[in-house]
Amino acid sequence: MNTNASTIAFPIDLVYLWVDGNDAAWQAKRQTYMTGAQTKSTSADATSEARWRNNDELLFSLRSVEMYAPWVNHIYIITDNQRPEWLVPNHPKVTIVDHVEIFPPEAIPIFNSGALEACIHKIKGLSEHFLFANDDTLFAQRVEPTDFFLPDGRPIVRFMHFSRRKAHRKGHYHRMLYRMQNLAKEQTGRLIALAPHHNIDAYCKSTYTHCVEQLYPEEWHQTIFHRFREEGDMHRSFVAYWMVATGNAVMRRVGRYNRVTGGLMGHLRAFLSGRYATDSRVVSANLPDYEKVMRKYNPLMICANDNEHTTPEDCKRMHAFLQAHYPAKSSFEKR
């Protein structure tokens, strides 16, 4: 996409979810609520340590913003009474948003990213057009506002392949997407049988607010009060499906060829050479060669993803990989 940035005349903010899962006090608080009736209906994969492990991904993600998306207007970091120790205090471009600022007090503490997603539109001062990111998502090349929004303000929503037939055999996340697709179809009459690309997403605050507060408000409210992920939770993918189905956003299919130029001949050259070009790629921490992924897919964005199989050695390798790709300290870091 990468068309002229000047065609976008509105500010675009960036919202992160972040937690320092290595913090002993936070770990003790989480353990208190993991034990007992609060987690009886929680899905089996909801309490994996990988969901909260801190490997400095946010530090490198902010470096990627300064390197590749300096046009971002303001950055909001949603946290649970924490602050990155390396972050410059009172940086004019960064606001720390504590859970207490966007959640009803009786719902706190919260350890469910789906619940957090249900409240991000409540951030005070958030612009109408915003990007949403987890702390392990990063820009890998120069991007422009027009990679995320049309000049008329509509978001560009990235989707990828999804098998509805296999969804119920592939775990909580796939079942949740299956349900969000059905709920969006119930509202719009259009089924979008695709999955979000698992990276940095674009939204409009007004449509996000409409989906959360006007469509299935009871289900969203229940999700806010689920401290850990549960079956039946709402998910922000519902907003993406609804936006595309109603024409409030445009869809972009993400795959290994989606940024390959040259038509059929370009695709053939990519296939024969094994060198592709995609908007988004997950670089899993337990892969043996991260650089091979970068060379093969030439992604615009990456997700430095870990999971329950990630070892301490994998974390060290991933940290070194990110340091190599984002070596210079950003203005967000203490000197």
Please report, rounded to a whole number, the percentage of residues in the chain having pLDDT higher than 90. Answer: 79
Residue 334 forms part of a structural domain = no
CATH code of residue 310: 3.90.550.10
Residue 1 forms part of a structural domain = no
Residue 96 has pLDDT above 90, yes or no: yes
Query: Predicted confidence band at 306 (pLDDT cuts at 50, 70, 90)?
Result: confident
Region 47-74 average pLDDT? 85
Region 31-41 average pLDDT? 66
Give me the pLDDT at residue 219, please: 95
Coil vs helix vs strand at 159: strand
What is the domain range of residue 148?
9-325
Give me the pLDDT at residue 24, please: 86
Region 322-333 average pLDDT? 96
Partners of residue 137 on adjacent β-strands: 303
Q: Tell me the pLDDT tens digit for each residue of 165-211.
A: 888 888 889 999 999 999 999 999 999 999 999 899 999 999 999 99
Residue 279 has pLDDT above 60, yes or no: yes
Number of domains in the chain: 1
Residue 2 forms part of a structural domain = no
Taking each helix axis as running N to C, give the angle between helix 205-214 and helix 237-246, from 0 to 180 degrees, rounded to the nearest 10.
110
Q: Pick the residue with more confidence: 24 or 102?
A: 102
Give me the pLDDT at residue 259, please: 92
Q: Give yes or no for a contact between 132 and 15, defined as CB atoms under 8 angstroms apart.
A: yes
Residue 312 forms part of a structural domain = yes
List the single range of 170-179, 291-300, 318-327 with lowest mean pLDDT.
Answer: 170-179
Q: What share of the chain is helix, strand, coil (3-state, %, to 5)?
A: 40, 15, 45
Buried (b) or exposed (e) across 286-319, using 16+ Cβ within 10 A? beeebeebbebbbbbbbbbbbeeebeeebbebbb
Give me the pLDDT at residue 37, please: 45
Query: Predicted confidence band at 6 (pLDDT cuts at 50, 70, 90)?
Result: low
Residue 335 has pLDDT above 60, yes or no: yes
List the single range of 20-29, 236-245, 319-328 with lowest mean pLDDT.
Answer: 20-29
Please report, rounded to a whole number, the percentage of residues in the chain having pLDDT higher than 70. Answer: 93
Q: Which residue has 């796939």 as its token pair?
A: 174
Buried (b) or exposed (e) across 205-237, using 16+ Cβ within 10 A? bebbebbbeebbeebbebbbebbbbbeebbbbb
263 C-beta neighbours (distance < 10 Å), count: 8
Residue 141 forms part of a structural domain = yes
Residue 311 forms part of a structural domain = yes
User: Which pTM value belongs to this model?
Assistant: 0.92
Residue 87 forms part of a structural domain = yes
Q: Tell me the pLDDT tens digit for each residue of 12-21.
A: 999 999 998 8
DSSP per-residue letters across 262-281: SHHHHHHHHHHHT----SEE
Give me the pLDDT at residue 102, please: 96
Residue 259 forms part of a structural domain = yes
Q: Tell me the pLDDT tens digit for each residue of 138-166.
A: 999 999 999 999 999 999 999 999 999 88
